[in-house]
Amino acid sequence: MSPNWLLFPGNTPLSNAKTRMIARAAREIAPGMVVNLGIGLPTRVVDHLPADFPVCLHTENGLTGIGPSLPPDRADRNLIDAGGAYVSTVPGSAFFDSATSFAMVRSGRLDLTMLGAFEVSSQGDLANWKIPGKFSPGVGGGIELAQKARRVVVLTTHTDRAGNPKLRDTCALPLTAQGCVSRVFTEMAVIDITPQGYALAEIAEGVSLAEVREATGAPFTIPHDTVPVF
């Protein structure tokens, strides 16, 4: 179970900016990939994939080939994803135990995972499982996804509820994994983690560079020519 599911309950209506961010993140998925989508915003990425798109979705409680979510009246009581949502299968799905599930993750068979974040550092550190004294429900499967997926991207709001930047120079919260994040998608921007720190890759429609700078807790480089808009 991913650490952030209490913060992102499944069925809230999303703002246009968040919807655009999720649609942009969906383009991160290349044909043929094996992908684990963390609880919350990442789960919704699947709604933006073409119907016939060749991809294998993995959930750590023991399923490859996740099909559409089902309402309670059509749900199978034995078939959930790691966030507890009732899901379905696709032709070619496979079930397996929890050891096999994480064997896939740790041995490098997961091409991509999309996770939520409390904080990200400019070195790609990720903190998303614990706020000491406030929130510590356990790390679940998040640490292995973050440490071992071949590519880890983060989907998150650019700032927390108090308006503090989530993209920081270093993380103050306990880490989930060091140096694991390649790219961050927010409602304001797509920002890469490079050996030189943050690099703005794309900016959301209607957002200014100054606004991104204001909301980001560390410096970032910008493209030499125009910044692509998503």
Partner 1 sequence: MRLPDKRCDIAVAVARIKDSDTVMVGGFGVPGTPMALIHALVDHGARDLTLIKNDANEPGMGIDHLLKSGQVARLITTHLGLNSHAIDLMNSGRIQVEFNAQGILAERIRAGGAGIGAVLSDIGIGTELADGKQVVEVDGKPHLVESALRADFALIHADRADHFGNLAYVATARNFNPLMAMAATRVIAEAETILPLGALDADAVHTPGVFVDHVAELVALSGEYAVVQR
Question: CB of 5: closest distance to partner 1 in angstroms?
Answer: 6
Query: Least Å distance between CB 120 and partner 1?
Result: 15
**CA dist., res. 57 & res. 60, Å (int):** 10
Shortest separation between residue 83's beta carbon and partner 1, angstroms: 9
User: Which positions are annotated as active-site residues?
Assistant: 60
- Residues 145, 143, 133, 117: what is their CA dihedral angle, to the nearest 10 degrees? -30
Q: In angstroms, what is the minimal distance from the CB of 205 to partner 1?
A: 27
| CB closer to partner 1 out of 77 and 161 | 77
Mapping DSSP to helix (H, G, I), strand (E, B) and coil, where does residue 142 land? helix
Written as six digits, the tokens of 160 are: 């927390």
Least CB distance from residue 199 to partner 1, whole Å? 23
Q: Whose structure tokens read 């919704």?
A: 44
Tally the residues of the chain.
Answer: 230
Determine the Cα–Cα distance for residues 203 and 208; give it in Å rounded to an integer: 8
DSSP class per residue in 111-169:
-EEEE--SEEETT--EE-S-BTTTB----TTHHHHHHHSSSEEEE--SB-TTS-BSEES
Whose Cβ is closer to partner 1: residue 7's or residue 199's? Answer: 7
Residue listed under structure tokens 């989530």:
166
Comparing CB distances to partner 1, the nearer of 32 and 228 is 32
Judge contact between 64 and 34, C-beta under 8 A: yes
